[in-house]
Amino acid sequence: MVDVAPREKITREPRTLSVEAEVDAQLARTGSDASVDVASLGEQLLGTWADIRRSAREMAKDPALHNVPGESLAEQRARARGQLQLLVDRGAVHRAFPKYLGGGEDNGGNITGFEELVAADPSLQIKSGVQWGLFASAVLQLGTEEHHRRFLPDIMSLKVPGAFAMTETGHGSDVASIATTATYDVERQEFVINTPFRAAWKDYLGNAGQDGTAATVFAQLITNGVNHGVHCFYVPIRDEQGDFLPGIGGEDDGLKGGLNGIDNGRLHFTNVRVPRTNLLNKYGDVAEDGSYSSAIDSPGRRFFTMVGTLVQGRVSLDGAATAVSAMALTIAITYGNQRRQFAGPGDEEQVILDYGRHQRRLIPRLATAYAMNFAHDEFLVKFDAVFSGAANTDSDREDLETLAASLKPLSTWAALDILQEAREACGGAGFLTENRLTGLRADLDIYVTFEGDNNILLQLVAKRLLSDYAAQFKGADSAALARFAVAQTAAKAYHGAGLRTLGQRVRDFGSTARSIQELRDAETQRQLLTDRVASMVAELAARLRPASKLSKKAAADLFNSQQNELIEAARAHAELLQWEAFTRALDEVTHDGTRQVLTRLRDIFGLGLLEKHLSWYLINGRMSPQRAQAVTAYLDRLIARVRPHAQDLVDAFGYGPEHLRANIATGAEAIRQDEARAYYREQRASGTAPTMEKSLKAKKR
């Protein structure tokens, strides 16, 4: 593409200072007396449902809900099973259910409280999510009031523990292609459920290994010889003695890489019969005579509507990953502020967080955790609006699904990255089970592939971006398309899906000082991040345009050849969503010092994204080498400016010792270091310190 946009005459300034000096000069103009109001910032981080989050964290302090390292598989499962009953007894699980059943109909508050259970034990969080967030939610969202009254009271009270039987051994994220069938028998008014081959077994199901006595089973609904696609059925699976009912079998998944408080297992069905009325028929029904009816004519739209009602799993994983990231950084930064290593100024060793590399490892990840936090709260608000009915159009639901598919991948991947870096930053102490990081890393590993494999989810996002892009030109005449082509040549990028139109690319003035000044500007950061998304989507659209004229196989091959680029475009879109949420959150900060520190932290997040994708910006002519150099130099200086506030920033997350349960974050390390410093100080003061050999050799010279 040739850039023919007009250019203003550029007067280049002579370089009289080093890049670093120019960066420092720019930062000096913003002031250096910033401070953080930890209390008010902590309140903001609690989000929209602050009272519920505060209450959930208080409950999570209870040792009765905590995991116990070193337990056997059977002990972990028994403990998690008992903890579910404690949640019921404390009224902690009914917020999302209908008021006519004793619930609160508070969807956002329900997720808020649920995701904080990760601080107590990730196994507890996920096992309760299986019971009330998946199994019960399938009945609630896909069934009618008759189903609610018949099934939900026993599910809510835990009288009926259940499994959510969607995933199959041979089909994970591709739910539309599952092989389990539910064929209607008109004579007996029953559905006959079968898993016709081994790959069709339902797999990785929480509560299926031991505890579940019923399941919500997803199967292809077949009636009168017609397959109407995936629907959900309520199916009893075990009797009161815990034995499988006739026609049902299964296996225990056994020991896993994490989350071993959950009894994951497999189920298979051979001619299992359930009443016609056990079809959860909110979106599709079968009459006694076998005739099928649905208010949604399109099978594809019907499927996505049904699956979309279960999006809350992705919402809660995004929130839990955000919470664990905050906990890990609190542990690592607290330890880094206390642990001393290597000689520093004077006679004492230096705290490791004062080392530039240590700051580079942790502070950009702290910025990411803040971006995740602010984006998650907006995500929760959107989720609550859709599920409360306040904003419940098809477009609203589609936006929510796209948001979930955007944010869940980034937050769960980031959580694993943060946990690993925090572990390494704490050295050998981070590898000890008592300091939680390795256990949390193992438990959260599965988050990146359940409730949708992250790469598959981002591919769905990319398809939405392409769809929105194409919608701009639907019905456009040749003149409109010609105008668009001219605009593209002039480097004007366009994007639907809620992203603003970008004008001429940001100019580079050839001066490091001016480059730095522009990089500090939020609008410049927004334009650079938006331009990357818009340009990637436009380029993909151009590459994929021939698909409509190709054979099915050739079109599939073309799409497959662009799969990596599709996922990268979706990731760029999700990164922009996080940056924008962080930027909007700055408008809510009332304390001047806190706003200044958070603005720098936001800039670290934004510039970190630019640095991460610097090759794209250079290759595509969005930055000159001069500006690229300024990105890294400015980022390094910003990190150093935020370092004095790092402890305040993690303290504001609000996780106390009872949540962290990491010895190195309790102040024990500071006590050890103070003892050592006092010992050497006393030696020096009393003159009893031994003479160092190298000092004697120095005197001889």
pLDDT at 340 over 80: yes
Of 203-217, 384-398, 598-612, least confident by mean pLDDT is 384-398
Region 652-672 average pLDDT = 92
Structure confidence at residue 3 as a pLDDT band (50, 70, 90): very low
Q: Which helix (H) or strand (E) holds 218?
A: strand 214-223
The answer to the question of residue 557 being in a domain is yes
The answer to the question of residue 690 being in a domain is no
Tell me the CB-side half-sphere exposure of residue 626, using CA atoms within 13 A: 17
What lies within 8 Å, CB to CB, of 117 at 6+ separation is: 56, 60, 65, 124, 125, 128
Region 20-29 average pLDDT = 64
Q: What does the pLDDT read at residue 477?
A: 55
Strand, coil or helix: 344: coil
Q: What does the pLDDT read at residue 680?
A: 82
124 shares a domain with 191: yes
216 shares a domain with 101: yes
The pTM score is 0.90
191 shares a domain with 88: yes
282 shares a domain with 152: yes
pLDDT at 391 over 60: yes
Of 74-83, 327-336, 609-618, 621-630, least confident by mean pLDDT is 621-630
Euclidean distance between CA atoms 570 and 575, whole angstroms: 9
pLDDT at 500 over 50: no
90 shares a domain with 160: yes
Of 116-125, 293-302, 305-314, 501-510, least confident by mean pLDDT is 501-510
- Count of structural domains, the chain: 2
Nearest residue to 635 via CA among 531, 525, 511, 534: 525
Q: Mean pLDDT for the chain?
A: 89
Of 257, 292, 310, which one is at a domain's C-terminal end?
Answer: 310
73 shares a domain with 17: no
CB 568 within 8 A of CB 459: no
**Which domain CATH number covers 193?**
2.40.110.10
DSSP tag of 591: -
How many CB atoms lie under 10 A from the CB of residue 315? Answer: 29
Q: What is the distance in angstroms between the CA of the first residue and the CA of the last residue of the chain?
A: 68
107 shares a domain with 26: no
pLDDT at 16 over 50: no
106 shares a domain with 132: yes
Tens-place pLDDT, residues 170-201: 998 889 999 999 999 999 999 999 999 999 99
Region 295-317 average pLDDT = 91
pLDDT at 32 over 60: no
The answer to the question of residue 200 being in a domain is yes
The answer to the question of residue 465 being in a domain is no
Tens-place pLDDT, residues 530-575: 999 999 999 999 899 888 888 989 988 998 999 999 999 999 999 9
CB 136 within 8 A of CB 155: yes
Tell me the CB-side half-sphere exposure of residue 698, using CA atoms within 13 A: 5
509 shares a domain with 605: yes
Q: What does the pLDDT read at residue 2?
A: 35
Q: What does the pLDDT read at residue 695?
A: 74
Region 235-255 average pLDDT = 96
The answer to the question of residue 554 being in a domain is yes
Q: In percent, how much of the chain has pLDDT > 90?
A: 74
Q: Residue 678: is it exposed, middle or buried by C-beta count within 10 angstroms (0-12/13-18/19+)?
A: exposed
Q: What does the pLDDT read at residue 567?
A: 95
What tokens were used for 498? 């809620």
CB 635 within 8 A of CB 521: no
Of 310, 331, 349, which one is at a domain's C-terminal end?
Answer: 310
Q: What does the pLDDT read at residue 502?
A: 31
Region 309-337 average pLDDT = 95
The answer to the question of residue 669 being in a domain is no
- Report DSSP letters for 411-464, one per residue: HHHHHHHHHHHHHHHTHHHHHSGGGSHHHHHHHHGGGGTTTS-HHHHHHHHHHH
Q: What does the pLDDT read at residue 490?
A: 35
Task: Output phi, psi for 183, to 5 deg.
Answer: -100, 130
162 shares a domain with 31: no
Structural domain span for residue 626: 13-46+482-655
Euclidean distance between CA atoms 496 and 573, whole angstroms: 11
Region 299-323 average pLDDT = 93
**Which domain CATH number covers 560?**
1.20.140.10
Of 279, 310, 341, which one is at a domain's C-terminal end?
Answer: 310
The answer to the question of residue 316 being in a domain is no
Region 140-153 average pLDDT = 97
Strand, coil or helix: 494: coil
543 shares a domain with 499: yes
Q: What does the pLDDT read at residue 196?
A: 97
Task: Output phi, psi for 219, to 5 deg.
Answer: -150, 160
Which carries the bigger pLDDT value, residue 132 or residue 490? 132
Structure confidence at residue 29 as a pLDDT band (50, 70, 90): low
Q: What does the pLDDT read at residue 675?
A: 83
The answer to the question of residue 551 being in a domain is yes
59 shares a domain with 24: no
